[in-house]
Structure 1
Amino acid sequence: MNRGRLVTVIIVVHNEKPELEICLDSIRRFGDVDNLQVVIIDNASIDGTAEWLSLQRDIAYATIEEGLTGYAKVINTAIDLFSIKGDFLLMFPQFVITPGCISRMLQGLYSKAEIGAVGPAFCGDKSFDGHSAVDYQTAVLLAGENNELVMKQVVGLAEYAVLIRGDVVNKVGRFDEQFLLAESVIQDYLFRVMTKKFTLINIPNAIAYCMLPDKISEKYKGLMAEKDRNNIKDKWGMNYFNTTYNPNLIQMMTHNTDSELTILEVGCDCGATLVEIKNRYPNAGIYGYEINPRAAKIASFVAKVEVGNLEEQAFPYEKSMFDYIIFGDVLEHLKDPASVIKYCSDYLKDDGCIIASIPNLMHVSVIRDLVAGNFTYSDTGLLDKTHIHMFTYNEIIRMFEACNYNIDEIVSDCLDLKREDKLYIQRLIDLEPNAEFFMFETFQYVIRASKRRDKQKKIVIIEDENDILNYTARQLVKAYKGIGYKVYEMFVAQIIENPDNFMHILRTGVEKAIIFNNRGWLLKINGKNIWDVCEVPCINYMLDHPFYYFDTLDKAPQYGIAAYVDRNHVDYAERFNKKVQKNIFLPLAGEDVSNGFCKKIADRNTKVLFTGSYKYREEFDQFGVWQKVLIEELIKHPYKTLEWAIEEKIALEQPAADDMYIKHVIEENRMVDIYLKFYFRKEVVARLIYAGIDVEICGEGWENSEYYDNPHLICHGVMTQDECLKKMLDSKIVLNTMPWFKDGIHDRVINAMLAGALCVTDDSKYLSEEFERNKDYISYNLQHMEEVPEIINRILENPDAAQKIADAARKKAGEKHTWYARIRDMEK
């Protein structure tokens, strides 16, 4: 690891005595190389630094007395004065090192012959790329987590700590004294290192910690910076050294990191973003196209770079070559950006994308000044003097769509706003109802747009943490992808965390969204329903009866559509939930997990399977006489719905009652529906096990049933939906109860059929319309559950007849009742 090599740490200080003391202490503690010397140059301090230095016995130092001097001249003086010959580490006094920092940098420096300089990662200041801001003690602990050498190539290193190889210095020469500030001096030198064909490397697990910002007075720094800018322009043809990559552009790439990609960055500058792409996508071929020949020369050391003006539309590349063409703050500088992105379409692969970052003219800082009568251009920023085209959110969308691109994603890059800015934005929104908060908050938009072929339909499906709802969501995701939709999968929590990003997705041409059991139906942005703001129809797929969700349905968005799993639910909603604009019937469906192979019924190990929970709720003990009469009526006449039975009872007691009263009574008694669900489950299972028939159960709560200890009850406990489906593949009979489905179907029925099992279930109007009783399934009557054991025994005694029924059902379910078929037919 070359620990024995001489490393000289050079620190230049100006009125930074307290920081220097801590910095030097960290070097004494963690300077883990065998031959280390420290040289400190006091650059005209007046805070007692010189006196303190004179008391230190383990360092070399010198004092500059003729006033504050440029950094390059100071370093050259130090090298001459102390005859520094080997490797040296330029370091700021505001930084302290952590264990392994210097040794890891030294190891990286000599890991390859072509490496010329290395730098650490920085933490302690959120502005530094690398580790998140932590205290110094945590940084020390962080440093000990990974001892393996980690490296990534860069085109620039932060000036706070840079280790340069001694033999490289011999080839590059002295520091250029026309530059004054350390950042200019060091980056100029590092560019010169690259022109000698050496590479620059960042060592992410060599960690330095920032204590305080630079203390050079703003007056001096301002004067020095102005001189440096002019000198940078003269020497390198640039306004500043652009060595920082744009993470927003890279994050828009959607491929796996091991993908073999071909990527072009137009306006690649010095190649910072390209080299970071290569770090993350090592199998990528990276290309740059840059109008500035001197910047292109630097970038050419990390990528294949051509010099040219894109507006001349003379790419030297093959057509259909690139997976991504990237524009980082470029389009606003072009005379005809629309023509350029149209031209680039020919150079994208069929599934290729443009990724672009574009400043937002509508940012609150610009609008505030404009309203005050000011529109003042500057050297950088939103009103950069070199900007030719100005863009807002709507104009970006119009341009890409007019050039035959689909906008796949738009992300807002926002700066922190002051409270008065937020209040000002709200006043602007009050003046213009079509404007939205994000339009004024966004500093820059980042876009990914794909070539438009046949325009792909887009849908948002909002998933849920609930296993059953999320299982259904995943089925719809697969089904919509199967019919050619682009599907955005999201969770409600993601939307709440970043509503603006979600709004951007909705505005990229999303046709509709699907949510489940109201999760996300009432999402708001700036006090308005998000679906109505974006004018995107949102289908609320209600897997339960609407009387469970009256409070949400009564606040339905204008663009809300409710989909129900039972036609009786639709009728109920049409009558009682009039705020919903449209109600549709979307019956449940099933998933075939057999991969084309199903065991014969005779060869299956489980006789009878039931998948479902059993719960006895405390609320059941609170039922009054009214509820108990209802329960008795519905057990005696299970073909009735709860709302039917309640309305009959109200008609006898209060014949003049209106719909509002009836709706209220139904909602107040909805727990009866839950009670009946578990009652019939418990009773049908009881009939079987007391008749000596083994029943295997997948679901929670059965340990609370009175017959849990019965040897014929085999409980497997909680299982996922996927595990239940696999269990069905080895079951002869799948038992079902669905007293709440009078005109719909439970997905358990379809899943059983697709698994090649014989389904035994209570009946429903929809089930008997879609399948033939006793030919596709076997039904029983909830009024005569005592007959179920005999039905089951007949099936078990005649596996050939059972097989014939199961085969017929599997064929019919596979043709019309998979989730794919359900969505396909609904879309038609």
Structure 2
Amino acid sequence: MKKIILFTGGIETQEYFSLQLANAFTKIGHEIFLFDLNEEEKSFTALCNFIEPCNTIMLTFNFHGLNNEECFYQDGKIFWDEVSIPCYNIVLDHPFYYHTLISNVPPLYTHISIDLGHEAYMKRFYPYITRGPFLPLAGTEIEHKPWVERSKDIVFTGNYTPPKNFDEYITRLNEDYTVFYHGIIDDLIAHPDQDMDSVFVKHLTREMNDLSDDNLKLCMENMIFIDLYVRFYFRGLVVRTLAESGYQVHVYGGGWDLLECNYPENIILGGPLDSEGCLKVIADSKISLNVMPWFKNGAHDRVFNSMLNGALCVSDDSIWMRENIIDGEEIIYYSLKEINKLPSIINKILSNPDKGETITKAAYQKVKTFHTWDSRAKVLSNLFSI
């Protein structure tokens, strides 16, 4: 079987995913090398000894190892190209975050999307890039309590940034651009079912109808602050709506002390946690609240982690989620268009513990069967053998 290179020492979440995959690959017989990005020189020497020509691949998240690291990029040459190692990159964000990096990948590169909308974007704007299979994220199971014994009713794991913090980017040019950017933001907030890039293209071509795809890519790369603005707008609105309806929401992540709320005492600040810490609080909560990071045809790992650790996931939806996770049986969906209905949804769940427990048991079975890192490792292992 192929020998696999993975990375540690980068973004904590991505390292955690890599370690889950490393364990899963080991179970099915792959030999693993963990390249420590914090110890590049030491790791590079060991890496060269690990590589077996024609039988080694590199798997990364978000371009680690493909981001102009000095040990891999020297004298205009890319190490992976020089040693003929295929590179597989699971990209956790929308591709418009990575225009420059995508444009400079080595020849033996495969781009793997976690959202079918991202896959469609790659097909249109980078048709020459090899694309792997659509691969949703996955869940990690830890020890967890029965639903009725949990100490927290509602938990949200993730950071918060006040949308006003992005005003410096919205207003950085002139009044015309400010109005243009706010028009896109207002469109996304009013119609949250739309793909981010589709809305970008709609507004850009309305203003400048002769834009080529190359120019559209460059424009979208410079508009990623809109994605962040809208993401945190809805994240804050969901938590604020519940807090102002009398529900205590335990939030874990940075920035939540900056959320404006009429009843801040209902927002219980837990502070930032690593991936394992987030799993532990989810495993002790009845409801794990999710707000999708604008994945309109995929799913976030928070969904799978919640379902696999016995919390009832309450989330906005996506096309893929509606087709693969059953509302009212394995998950409870709410609409970003009708967040005012969310307190009533929460009340029904907490008022009917038998129903809540039934849903969490079905959710657990769904993810345990189809959406673990073991499942993803098998798909990837088959891909590497092609």
| Pairwise CA distance, 1:510 | 4.0
| Pairwise CA distance, 1:504 | 3.6
1:602 to 144, 148, 159: 148
CA distance in structure 2 between the partners assigned to 1:579 and 1:553 by the alignment: 11
1:480 to 17, 21, 25: 25
Q: Please tell me the residue identity of whatever aligns with 2:241.
A: R
**1:721-732 alignment to 2 at 5 Å?**
721-732=275-286
Q: Please tell me the residue identity of whatever aligns with 2:122.
A: A
3-state SS, counterpart of residue 105 of structure 2: coil
Q: Please tell me the residue identity of whatever aligns with 2:246.
A: G
Q: Please tell me the residue identity of whatever aligns with 2:377.
A: I
Instruction: Name the counterpart of 1:784.
Output: 338
3-state SS, counterpart of residue 563 of structure 1: strand
Instruction: Name the counterpart of 1:593.
Output: 142
CA distance in structure 2 between the partners assigned to 1:655 and 1:527 by the alignment: 37
| Pairwise CA distance, 1:507 | 3.2
Instruction: Name the counterpart of 2:167.
Output: 620
3-state SS, counterpart of residue 489 of structure 1: strand
| Pairwise CA distance, 1:665 | 1.8
| Pairwise CA distance, 1:508 | 5.3
In 2 relative to 1, CA 544–708 (structure 1 residues): closer, same or farther, beyond 3 Å?
Answer: farther
1:479, 1:819 within 8 Å by CA — same for their partners in 2? yes
TM-score (norm 2): 0.91
1:702 to 256, 264, 283: 256
| Pairwise CA distance, 1:726 | 1.1
Deviations 1:724-766 (A, max 9, x none): 1111111110000004110111000000001111100000111
CA distance in structure 2 between the partners assigned to 1:772 and 1:581 by the alignment: 32
Q: Please tell me the residue identity of whatever aligns with 2:135.
A: L
Instruction: Name the counterpart of 1:457.
Output: 2
In 2 relative to 1, CA 538–556 (structure 1 residues): closer, same or farther, beyond 3 Å?
Answer: same
2:33, 2:47 within 8 Å by CA — same for their partners in 1? no
Instruction: Name the counterpart of 2:274.
Output: 720
CA distance in structure 1 between the partners assigned to 2:284 and 2:200 by the alignment: 42
3-state SS, counterpart of residue 610 of structure 1: strand
Q: Does 1:656 align with 2:210?
A: yes
CA distance in structure 2 between the partners assigned to 1:795 and 1:709 by the alignment: 22
Deviations 1:630-670 (A, max 9, x none): 11000000011121112112333333322112212211211
Q: Please tell me the residue identity of whatever aligns with 1:518.
A: F
1:638, 1:739 within 8 Å by CA — same for their partners in 2? no
Q: Please tell me the residue identity of whatever aligns with 2:291.
A: T
3-state SS, counterpart of residue 700 of structure 1: coil
| Pairwise CA distance, 1:695 | 0.6
| Pairwise CA distance, 1:612 | 0.4
1:774 to 328, 342, 347: 328
Q: Does 1:546 align with 2:95?
A: yes
2:9, 2:38 within 8 Å by CA — same for their partners in 1? no
Instruction: Name the counterpart of 2:109.
Output: 560
**1:495-510 alignment to 2 at 5 Å?**
495-496=40-41, 499=44, 501-507=46-52, 510=55
Q: Please tell me the residue identity of whatever aligns with 1:787.
A: K
Q: Does 1:742 align with 2:296?
A: yes
Number of aligned residue pairs: give it: 370
3-state SS, counterpart of residue 265 of structure 2: coil
| Pairwise CA distance, 1:599 | 2.8
Q: Please tell me the residue identity of whatever aligns with 1:812.
A: K
3-state SS, counterpart of residue 711 of structure 1: helix
| Pairwise CA distance, 1:498 | 6.2
2:200 to 646, 650, 654: 646
2:241, 2:343 within 8 Å by CA — same for their partners in 1? yes
Q: Please tell me the residue identity of whatever aligns with 1:464.
A: G
In 2 relative to 1, CA 507–493 (structure 1 residues): closer, same or farther, beyond 3 Å?
Answer: farther
**1:145-160 alignment to 2 at 5 Å?**
none
1:739, 1:762 within 8 Å by CA — same for their partners in 2? no
Deviations 1:110-133 (A, max 9, x none): xxxxxxxxxxxxxxxxxxxxxxxx
Deviations 1:24-54 (A, max 9, x none): xxxxxxxxxxxxxxxxxxxxxxxxxxxxxxx
Q: Which structure has the highest strand share of the two?
A: 1
In 2 relative to 1, CA 496–674 (structure 1 residues): closer, same or farther, beyond 3 Å?
Answer: farther
Q: Does 1:577 align with 2:126?
A: yes
**1:800-815 alignment to 2 at 5 Å?**
800-815=354-369
**1:63-142 alignment to 2 at 5 Å?**
none
| Pairwise CA distance, 1:492 | 3.0
1:499, 1:525 within 8 Å by CA — same for their partners in 2? no
1:695, 1:713 within 8 Å by CA — same for their partners in 2? yes
Q: For structure 1, which segment, 497-506 or 743-752, has the greater mean C-alpha deviation from structure 2 after superposition?
A: 497-506
| Pairwise CA distance, 1:709 | 6.2
CA distance in structure 1 between the partners assigned to 2:41 and 2:220 by the alignment: 33
**1:406-445 alignment to 2 at 5 Å?**
none
1:491 to 32, 36, 40: 36
Q: Which runs of 5+ in 2 are unaligned?
A: 171-177
Q: Please tell me the residue identity of whatever aligns with 1:547.
A: F
2:243, 2:263 within 8 Å by CA — same for their partners in 1? no
| Pairwise CA distance, 1:676 | 1.0
CA distance in structure 2 between the partners assigned to 1:779 and 1:535 by the alignment: 46
3-state SS, counterpart of residue 722 of structure 1: helix
1:471 to 13, 16, 22: 16
Identity of aligned residues (%): 33
3-state SS, counterpart of residue 585 of structure 1: coil
Q: Please tell me the residue identity of whatever aligns with 1:675.
A: Y
CA distance in structure 2 between the partners assigned to 1:797 and 1:803 by the alignment: 12
1:567, 1:743 within 8 Å by CA — same for their partners in 2? yes
CA distance in structure 2 between the partners assigned to 1:505 and 1:526 by the alignment: 23
Deviations 1:171-209 (A, max 9, x none): xxxxxxxxxxxxxxxxxxxxxxxxxxxxxxxxxxxxxxx
| Pairwise CA distance, 1:527 | 3.4
2:315, 2:333 within 8 Å by CA — same for their partners in 1? yes
Q: Which runs of 5+ in 1 are unaligned?
A: 1-455
CA distance in structure 1 between the partners assigned to 2:323 and 2:276 by the alignment: 28
1:550, 1:577 within 8 Å by CA — same for their partners in 2? no
CA distance in structure 2 between the partners assigned to 1:614 and 1:715 by the alignment: 12
CA distance in structure 2 between the partners assigned to 1:658 and 1:641 by the alignment: 20
CA distance in structure 2 between the partners assigned to 1:495 and 1:513 by the alignment: 16
In 2 relative to 1, CA 493–729 (structure 1 residues): closer, same or farther, beyond 3 Å?
Answer: closer
After the TM superposition, which parts of structure 1 deviate over 6 Å for at least 4 consecutive aligned residues?
none
| Pairwise CA distance, 1:503 | 3.2
